[in-house]
Amino acid sequence: MRLPHEALVEAQAVVDRLRREQLPVCMLRPQMFSLEACSAAMAQVRERLERGIGMAVLGRLPVECWSEYELRALYWLLGSLLSQPVAQEASGLIFRDILDEGEDHEFGNALAVTNRVLNFHTDNSGNRTRPDYISLMCLRRALHGGESQYCSVYSVYNALAEQAPEALERLFRPFLHDRQGIQPEGERELLRAPALEWDGERLRGRFSLNKISQGYRKAGMEMDAAAHAALDALVSCIDREQLSCQFMIEPGQVQYINNLQGLHHRSDYQDGSDPQQRRHMVRMWYRNAGSAFFEG
């Protein structure tokens, strides 16, 4: 989706104001500015997330002209027009910088800050309150790799219903999910919940192969054969049936995903020696109801 010229004019007016007087980004509110065209654009994004394919790539913000503070400010305001931004950890983290920290993480949220592949998953699947939507703003691309993929859980359901109904049935029964230590202090480290749910109106996903594997490892339990087969069937059918779209997020673009109805994937990547060739994304989470606290 192209950000209309009128919306970019409004965005530049916000930047001009912030160059005269700054506020911390999280204190900014859309009603402080004239953002009618931006609001209309984000209404279209929300329509795609709720009634379309569940994903939109909006662009682009002029990364070559604005500072990182200014880009984050517009990213925050656009997201606030979409839904309520929420914390990504019990510690209150709002913006998560997604870049290679050079550590050999193996599982979950920490794996996002390496250059390794991120297999199809939903964000925060190990905690009670998942974000309705997630977004990534691209500040810089990697030298090589880092492509994104997206797949609707409806596509997965339809494929498994036809090819592996026994695996599909197991996905609707509980698995153990690792909560990754980002839950409120004193709460259990594991969550027991199904990978797919039907809430009476819509199909919803709660899936991360890494978090489920780590959940069983932490519990000291072996996953049953039916669970293994169901997880393998889910992952393999996406590639075999070509259920996903693949694309590269360019600097200044923002990817928005319905986190309850879509699975997303990132290929591995290689940064260059030039800092401008170091992949840098900024992640935000949103919920349509409840508070901005991590667990709502």
Q: Indicate the domain borders of the chain.
A: 5-153+241-287, 167-233
Q: What is the pLDDT of residues 143-201, one digit of tens each?
A: 999 999 999 999 999 999 999 999 999 999 999 999 998 999 999 999 999 999 998 99
> Residue length, the chain?
296
pLDDT the model gives residue 14: 98
Enumerate residues 6+ apart whose C-beta is below 8 A from 40: 4, 7
* CB-CB contact of 90 with 183 (8 Å): yes
pLDDT higher than 90, residue 246: yes
Alpha helices in 164-269 (DSSP H): 165-171, 209-219, 225-240
What's the token pair of residue 236? 């393999």
Tens of pLDDT, residue by residue over 102-148, are 766 554 557 888 999 999 999 999 999 999 999 999 999 999 999 99
**Quick one: which of 265, 289, 263 has its CA closest to 125?**
263
What strands, in cross-sheet order, belong to the sheet with 245-247? 118-121, 262-266, 148-152, 245-247
Whole-number mean pLDDT of the chain?
A: 95
E strands of the chain, at which residues?
Answer: 55-58, 84-86, 96-98, 118-121, 133-140, 144-145, 148-152, 174-178, 190-194, 196-198, 203-205, 245-247, 254-258, 262-266, 269-270, 280-287
Q: How confident is the model at residue 47 (pLDDT cuts 50, 70, 90)?
A: very high
CA distance 276 to 194: 41
Region 5-31: mean pLDDT is 98
State residue 71 phi and psi, 5-degree precision.
-65, -45
Query: Which residue type is seen at 289?
Result: A
Read off the tokens for 71: 């880009």
- State what percent of residues in the chain have pLDDT above 70: 98
Q: What is the fold of 5-153+241-287?
A: Double-stranded beta-helix (3.60.130)
Mean pLDDT value across residues 244-256 = 97
The pLDDT score that the predictor gives to residue 150 is 98
What would the mean pLDDT of 249-271 be, rounded to a whole number? 97
The predicted pLDDT at position 102 comes to 78
Q: What pLDDT sits at residue 104? A: 61
Beta carbons of 127 and 295 less than 8 angstroms apart: yes
What Cα–Cα distance (Å) separates residue 202 from each residue in 96, 121, 167, 196? 29, 18, 20, 11
Asked if 204 and 260 count as a contact pair (C-beta separation under 8 A), the reply is: yes
Q: What is the mean pLDDT of residues 246-262?
A: 97
Q: Look up residue 126 and give its DSSP letter.
A: T
pLDDT at position 110 is 76
Residue 75 has pLDDT above 70, yes or no: yes
- The pLDDT, as a whole number, for residue 109 is 59
